[in-house]
Amino acid sequence: MKVLVINAGSSSLKYQLMVPDTREVLAKGLCERIGIDGHLKHQPTDKDVFDADIDLPNHEAAIKEVLNLLTHNHYGVIADVSEIDAVGHRVVHGGEDFTQSVVIDEKVIKGIEDCIPLAPLHNPANITGIRACQDVMPNTPMVGVFDTAFHQTIPPKGYMYALPYRYYTENKVRRYGFHGTSHDYVSKRAAELCGRPIEELRLVSCHLGNGASTCAIQYGKSIDTSMGLTPTDGLPMGTRSGAIDPSITEYISRVRGYSPERVAGVLNKESGMLGLSGVSSDFRDLEKAAEEGNERAELAMDIFCYKVTKRIGSGAAAMGGIDGVIFTAGVGENAPTIREKIMEGLEFMGLYIDKEKNKTRDEAIVSTDDSPGIIFVIPTNEELMIALDTERLLKD
Ligand code: AMP
């Protein structure tokens, strides 16, 4: 089966055509600046790359261009669009209704629409991507894979906020969590790597990228996660504050005269590593600045590592023990010094990092041979997870 995986943003569309069975990636690419002017980078495996400005007035036009390239006589990897057996869509918010991936029909699209208030930037873009594919490939089955679904196993004591209960029943205010597809993938892969059944492992997965979250995964199920109602909660991130005293928002708006929208903008776009360092949201820039003696860049990274360390500890407490820690995403996969710093002081929980093994950027176990707990580096692969779910659902 050939599955086209689509991750649609408001002005971008990432895609990957793959064969889930063999894990073969036939082509991948990215459409950017949709509705503005347009740019498309198409990377067919073992063939020339197409990388050019191209008019992309809307998502339908972007999908059409992608299909043209996938079937192109020079850049193409399939002879005809009919070779695409299914499309798997990443959907950010599935609320409480979507506890797992589903075959998309009108009822499902309505359900995704109902979650728009919870993800006003992401879900409309995801629906646009689904509609664009339906227009261009009306007979191809589609599956929705939700970022929130993996966390629907979190028990009420983990997902409820201590607010008036009616905010939950009337306004859906609760912890949902995100990066679920990534946490799900890396935890399953960790079990494969260490050769133990996931049903006997207590893992803390650390998805550390521009967005960052941890997840306590007990015997294969998410039981707690750091992101909340929105992806602003939890760890400090590239530009997001992470968890702060909730009264800071009211205080800032009063003393600086900011509207609620302006405060939300500060928390999401001007905080985190960028706000602390004044240098950049990118850890590569922060590491360079710190090496050159920039103390605020060093402080930003110290705070980040400290918060991740504490989250690993709280995940272990939630599970009554810990068998492994997983690092994934941009920072987790590529920054050995950050991993080392995070793991410093966690030896008391039986987690010993091997500094030599930790120099890797590939999939690896980086704990010492006699470490009771295992430390993994696992490149995330959300596209593969989406393709596998799509295949599984359509084969049933
Ligand atoms: P992601 O959101 O998973 O794509 O991660 C993107 C982030 O990963 C970037 O903003 C960087 O902060 C970080 N990153 C990527 N490569 C490196 C690297 N070699 N060293 C440190 N951080 C990196």
Domain span including residue 129:
3-146
Instruction: Say whether both 128 and 70 belong to one domain.
Output: yes
Total count of residues recorded for the chain:
396
pLDDT of residue 396: 65
Tokens found for residue 140: 């191809």
Q: What's the 285 CA to ligand 1 centre distance in angstroms?
A: 10
Is 160 contained in some domain?
Answer: no
DSSP H/E element including 206: strand 202-208
Which stretches of the chain score pLDDT less than 70? 396
Would you call 215 helix, strand, or coil by DSSP?
strand
Instruction: Say whether both 225 and 372 belong to one domain.
Output: yes
DSSP H/E element including 305: helix 295-319
pLDDT of residue 91: 97
Question: Which residue puts its alpha carbon closest to atom 4 of ligand 1?
Answer: 330
HSE-CB for 311 with a 13 A CA cutoff: 32
Q: Is the CB of 282 within 6 Å of ligand 1?
A: yes
Residue 114 neighbours by CB under 8 Å, 6+ apart = 95, 97
Instruction: Say whether both 139 and 199 belong to one domain.
Output: no
Is 389 contained in some domain?
Answer: no
Residue type, 389: D
CATH number of the domain encompassing residue 270: 3.30.420.40
Nearest atom of ligand 1 to the alpha carbon of 380: 3
Is 265 contained in some domain?
Answer: yes
CB 353 within 8 A of CB 367: yes
Q: Domain count of the chain?
A: 2
Q: What is the pTM of this model?
A: 0.94
Instruction: Say whether both 245 and 335 belong to one domain.
Output: yes
pLDDT of residue 200: 97
Instruction: Say whether both 262 and 116 belong to one domain.
Output: no
Is 219 contained in some domain?
Answer: yes
pLDDT of residue 120: 87
Nearest atom of ligand 1 to the alpha carbon of 273: 12
Residue type, 114: D
Q: What's the 289 CA to ligand 1 centre distance in angstroms?
A: 15
pLDDT of residue 75: 97
Is 169 contained in some domain?
Answer: no
CB 80 within 8 A of CB 124: no
**Among 329, 330, 354, 325, CA closest to 340:** 354
Instruction: Say whether both 124 and 224 belong to one domain.
Output: no
Tokens found for residue 165: 């209960």
Tokens found for residue 187: 């935890």
Instruction: Say whether both 10 and 78 belong to one domain.
Output: yes
Pick from 273, 283, 358 the residue to mutate for probing ligand 1's pocket: most ligand atoms within 8 Å of its CB: 283
Pick from 284, 286, 358 the residue to mutate for probing ligand 1's pocket: most ligand atoms within 8 Å of its CB: 284
Establish whether 105 is a catalytic residue. no
